[in-house]
């Protein structure tokens, strides 16, 4: 079995499948909650990517043995 990282590809589908069995009808509140969680996850990923880019630009990576 392939491990699924939290909030990685496929995580949300596995979680939904565990919460709601096949053929279940979702309430409007459940759908709204899922959309809200998905948006928060995507915003968090974009924020982390932005921070990584900013830090890479601010602090240029250097090899420890590099004396250039």
Cα–Cα distances (Å) from 28 to 17, 36, 61, in that order, read 17, 12, 48
| pTM for the structure as a whole | 0.49
| CA nearest to 14, candidates 29, 30, 26, 2 | 2
**32: its two tokens:** 């709204």
CB neighbour list of residue 37: distance below 8 Å, 6 or more residues apart: 12
Better-predicted residue by pLDDT, 1 or 22? 22
Pair 11, 5: CB distance under 8 Å: yes
Instruction: Give the model confidence (pLDDT) of 41-65 as tens digits.
Output: 888 889 999 999 998 888 877 777 7
Token pair for 27: 């309430």
């Amino acid at each position: 079995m392939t491990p699924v990282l939290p909030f990685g590809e496929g995580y949300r589908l596995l979680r939904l499948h565990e919460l709601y069995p096949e053929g279940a009808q979702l309430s409007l509140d459940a759908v709204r909650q899922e959309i809200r969680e998905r948006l928060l996850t995507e915003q968090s990923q974009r924020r982390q990517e932005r921070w990584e880019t900013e830090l890479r630009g601010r602090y240029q990576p250097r090899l420890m043995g590099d004396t250039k």
